[in-house]
Structure 1
Amino acid sequence: MNVLQTFSMTDFSKIYLAWRKGKGSRRHIVGLLERGADNNVTFQYLPETRNLVKTEGFIPYFEFQDLDKVYDSNVLQIFSHRLIKSERPDIGSFYDFWEIDLSQAQDKFYVLGKTQGLTASDNFEFLAEYIYHPDIHFLTDLSGLSYANLPKGTVKPGDFLQYEFEGDNEFDKEAIKVMFRGRDIGYIKKIHCRIFHRATETPLNLQVKAVEQNGIIRKIFVKISVQG
């Protein structure tokens, strides 16, 4: 295993596939991509995903239709089609926005986890399970904004946010609630929230990097890092 692969695996070796029925719907964790010691990536659906087919009309990822199979061939090649091409003239800005370490930019598993593999054509997301270390940092967008109904200008790039554990949350016992100046504004996404439970000695910084808004705030992108 080369140096690049070893470093990226210290950030994460697992990426969870998330899905929701539509905007404003609850996010479900439906699958797991895992990179092993041999650097091969496997994919499988989680057992509870079968219920979503009946209750919410979940349709499996096109190339991975079998809910019971462990896929171990061409997994990363298939999922990497969600990544933008490195030849694009704006690729530098894209990497900068998503906090990509340029020395790892050729590592598709790393880039998929860091950028969440978001596309406008479906409701899948790829959420890395980050491993805590003193230099960890990554970008995420807050969930729950469709319920918060925040007016334009509530937060702006550069603002530092606060957080607290919400163990009594009925939907997610790992939930991390995010606030700004005493106002609840959203939640850290599932899976991404796990690093907060591992950062028990040194709290994490939450700083707004970008905001999408018109009359109300649509998205808040937050950089998460260890407090120095």
Structure 2
Amino acid sequence: MRYIEHLIEPDRLLLSWQAQESKNRSRYVVGELVRKNGNITLNYFKDSKDFADARQHGFSGHPAFQIRENVDIYDDQVLEAFTRRIPPRSRSDFYRYMELRGLNPDHEISDFALLGYVGARLPDDGFELVHPFDTAKGPFEFITEIAGFRHESKVSVEDIALNSSVEFNPEPDNSFDPNAIRIELNGTKLGYVDRGRLDLFHRHLKAGHSVKGEIARKNGTPERPLIYIYTKVTPATH
């Protein structure tokens, strides 16, 4: 496993939610956690299409921050609520937890940044945090799961070698989502970039930046294999 080389401290994290019961198990960006003056707040994107679509699929807000019509900003123990979704640093296996997510356990990282790099996903509620890298001025790296691998991949998991290079190709003719970005191995489809990171990928691809990926990790189960990509973004000026 390659370590992430450039740790970028975020000012905000996107909150995405996956509709567990929908046919396509679609993922929606429904809000953001914002850090300002040492405080962490949560606000939902109530005016966005993603939020409206998520509501149609049963989204009612994070369990600790249920959607209320007269509340726009939630500021009560937001960081604490989300850090409970990851193992405490005192656990004996925390070192391994960091390594599996491409983070050097010997490097210092804030709880807020840690949430963005690991995603803080749980197996049963569909929530994930996404580091948008808004403040990145130079190269940066992150690890992301291939979305839809189980249903979309034309390559079996056994034929995918670790460290193999992958390509990211926009798919504007995609009938389900014209913003979709296909992930390919040697020209063969593996799946897609998850929706929570589409803006991130499009921003850098359109700017002509180098966006390179390689197979970082394979796990999951035979029925639900999971493939993770180590992605490095390098601005054109570097």
Task: Tell me the TM-score normalized by structure 1.
Answer: 0.83
For 1:220, the aligned partner's letter is I
For 1:127, the aligned partner's letter is V
Q: What residue is the counterpart of 1:118 in the other structure? A: 121
> Would the alpha carbon gap of residues 153 and 217 (structure 1) be closer, same or farther in structure 2, given more than 3 Å must change?
farther
- Gapped regions of structure 1 (runs ≥ 5): 1-6
> Would the alpha carbon gap of residues 154 and 14 (structure 1) be closer, same or farther in structure 2, given more than 3 Å must change?
farther
Which of the numbers 83, 86, 89 marks the counterpart of 1:86?
Answer: 89
Q: CA deviation at 1:119?
A: 1.3
For residues 216 and 160 of structure 1, the distance between their equivalents in structure 2, rounded to whole angstroms, comes to 24
> Would the alpha carbon gap of residues 119 and 170 (structure 1) be closer, same or farther in structure 2, given more than 3 Å must change?
same
- Gapped regions of structure 2 (runs ≥ 5): 1-5
Q: CA deviation at 1:18?
A: 1.3
Q: Any conservation in 2 of the 1:156–1:210 contact (CA below 8 Å)?
A: no
Q: CA deviation at 1:214?
A: 4.9
Q: What residue is the counterpart of 1:220 in the other structure? A: 227
For residues 146 and 25 of structure 1, the distance between their equivalents in structure 2, rounded to whole angstroms, comes to 13
Q: What residue is the counterpart of 2:13 in the other structure? A: 15
Q: Any conservation in 2 of the 1:156–1:208 contact (CA below 8 Å)?
A: yes
Q: What residue is the counterpart of 1:166 in the other structure? A: 171
SS at 1:153 equivalent: helix
SS at 2:157 equivalent: coil
Q: What residue is the counterpart of 1:3 in the other structure? A: none
Q: CA deviation at 1:72?
A: 2.0
For 1:25, the aligned partner's letter is R
User: What whole-Å deviation, never above 9, does each CA across 1:4-61 have from its counterpart, x for those lacking one?
Assistant: xxx96x453221211122285111122211222x1321101221435533x3222321
Q: CA deviation at 1:189?
A: 1.6
For residues 33 and 13 of structure 1, the distance between their equivalents in structure 2, rounded to whole angstroms, comes to 9
SS at 1:16 equivalent: strand
Q: CA deviation at 1:67?
A: 4.0
Q: What residue is the counterpart of 2:3 in the other structure? A: none
For 2:26, the aligned partner's letter is R
Q: What residue is the counterpart of 1:29 in the other structure? A: 29
Q: Any conservation in 1 of the 2:27–2:196 contact (CA below 8 Å)?
A: no
The worse-fitting range, judged by mean Cα deviation, of 148-157 and 116-125 is 148-157
> Would the alpha carbon gap of residues 104 and 173 (structure 1) be closer, same or farther in structure 2, given more than 3 Å must change?
farther
1:1-228 equivalences in 2 (<5 Å)? 10-22=8-20, 25-36=25-36, 38-47=37-46, 48=48, 49-50=51-52, 52-53=54-55, 55-68=56-69, 69=71, 70-100=73-103, 102-105=106-109, 107-131=110-134, 132-149=136-153, 150-199=155-204, 200-212=207-219, 214-215=221-222, 218-226=225-233
> Would the alpha carbon gap of residues 153 and 202 (structure 1) be closer, same or farther in structure 2, given more than 3 Å must change?
same
Task: Tell me the TM-score normalized by structure 2.
Answer: 0.80
Q: Aligned pair count?
A: 218
SS at 1:104 equivalent: coil
Higher RCO (CA < 8 A, seq sep 6+): 2
For 1:223, the aligned partner's letter is Y
Root-mean-square deviation (CA, aligned residues, Å) is 2.5
